[in-house]
Amino acid sequence: MHTTISGPVAPEAATSRPDTGDATSPQPPALSDDLLRRMDRPGPRYTSYPTADRFVEAYTADHYRQALAQRASGAIGAAGGPLSLYVHVPFCESVCYYCACNKIVTKDHGRASAYIDALAREIELVTDLLGRGQSVTQLHFGGGTPTFLDDGELDRLMGILRRHFTIEPRGEYSIEIDPRTVTRARLKHLADLGFNRLSYGVQDFDADVQKAVHRVQPYEQVEALMNDARDLGFQSINVDLIYGLPRQTPESYARTIGQVASLRPDRIAMYGYAHLPQRFKPQRRIVSEELPTGAQRIGMLSQAISGFIAHGYQYIGMDHFALPEDSLAQAKRQGRLHRNFQGYSTQADCDLIALGVSAIGRVGASYSQNAKTLDEYYDALQRNELPIVRGLSLTRDDLVRRAVIMAIMCHGRLSYESVSLAHLIDVRSYFGAELEAIEGLAEDGLVTLDGDGFELTALGWYFVRSVAMVFDKHLRADLSRERFSRVI
């Protein structure tokens, strides 16, 4: 028995021309129930390698201080090169049942002032080591709900950042938006502060699904805000979607796809819902019997890819789409696509300074994460200590495997010669067991092999995480993967 994936075209074809939804577009083969069953398993999203679950408490604030000082001296990282900043704002006024983010649900807006005080102290500690005035070309406010902060608090926070960093005039400055929390006037204020990119959390427009996940926001509300953002001159607008939510069906999700396409966002990020109620308490309010099946999920993914491509979007990979003129699509065409803790990005090899509770950053060959609770975060800063609680210093093997996994995730191809030359190894001997597994995936139709490597097929892009997992050394010894979302 087979489940037919209808409609989507090969992502590599989609990146060469914007309109590939015609009948002549290459079609992936039928997906057998056996393949679906074997591939429907938990796996990392690979916003980093090694993944964050591999961070250790042995990596301390001392290690992070050393990494910052080494970057400042030019010993590691891109000294003198631009930085990316991430600021985590954890507060939300109400809980969305699907959410797995680090957040604090409260209607007490008075808590924001103390949090900004703490952020200011963390920024001082970081820039004392890094040096003030470092060039920043990417800034992202995430959460939680960053627009929990009022206009005055956003003014204050942006002022602190500008005093400590050089926010370059032509950078990418984005903020996540809960459409229920903003008006046209608030959007204008964000534009005045220098934000030029917005990301609207939509997830699904179906009223029944919205009720099931406790996030009701009509299409008309989002449509009005999209129009306002364009009028105000925002350079890029992203819409976040989730498939696999309770009460979703392929039919209802097809309607949402059409509605989102009609809004014409510049980018679309579409994530598969990870139901992990044992880890995330809000998800316990979701009725598991109302979740779609694996076959329904793959159907939603299929129709989303074919639907968005038919509307002129390019498939960036795994969970991202973009209009051809968007910088993300340009980066994909030019081989400059990168993946970081926020997903696909245009800035490769850029050190990421992460600020705020639970925030994860990268400096040189190391990852670090801040304290996950406010009490722990505040306590460290009151002692004038960086709030790092865990992280990882990457080994040579980690760096090699990261390069391989990111090549698969971002470009859908691995060149043995390129990796061999960059890391002074012989790929065929270094990854002997892994390449045998890749041959098995070729038999399944997920990759095609050639003399210098392999490339994902159209079908393989559905399971790009599974292909990348072959090279994940840590997973091979891991008996429990339920910490991750499912591949489908």
Tell me the HSE value of 122 on the side-chain side, using a 13 A CA sphere.
29
In angstroms, the Cα distances linking 197 to 6, 131, 191, 389 are 33, 27, 9, 31
Known binding residue 203? Answer is yes
Tokens representing 437 are 């597994």
Known binding residue 100? Answer is yes
Q: What residue has token string 């990316």? A: 84
416 Cβ partners below 8 Å, 6+ apart?
Answer: 427, 428, 452, 453
364 Cβ partners below 8 Å, 6+ apart?
Answer: 67, 70, 71, 76, 77, 351
Known binding residue 360? Answer is yes
* Type of residue found at 178: D
Known binding residue 92? Answer is yes
Residue 405: closest CA among 459, 475, 312: 475
Farthest-apart Cα atoms in the chain, separation:
64
Known binding residue 143? Answer is yes
Known binding residue 176? Answer is yes
Give the DSSP letter of residue 442.
H
Residue 89: closest CA among 402, 410, 357: 357
* Type of residue found at 172: E
Asked whether the beta carbons of 204 and 210 are under 8 A apart, the reply is yes
Could you give the CA distance from residue 311 to residue 100 in angstroms, rounded to a whole number?
31
Could you give the CA distance from residue 484 to residue 118 in angstroms, rounded to a whole number?
31
Transcribe 133-173 into DSSP letters: TEEEEEEEEEES-GGGS-HHHHHHHHHHHHHHEEEEEEEEE
Tokens representing 160 are 């602190």
Known binding residue 144? Answer is yes
Residue 226: closest CA among 270, 273, 169, 268: 268
Burial 47-77 (b: 16+ CB within 10 A, else e): bbbbbbebbeeebbbebbbbbbbbbbeeebb
Q: What residue has token string 């971002």? A: 410
Tokens representing 474 are 């840590």
Binding residues for S-adenosyl-L-methionine: 86, 98-100, 143-145, 176, 203, 215, 240, 274, 360
Binding residues for [4Fe-4S] cluster: 92, 96, 99
Binding residues: 86, 92, 96, 98-100, 143-145, 176, 203, 215, 240, 274, 360
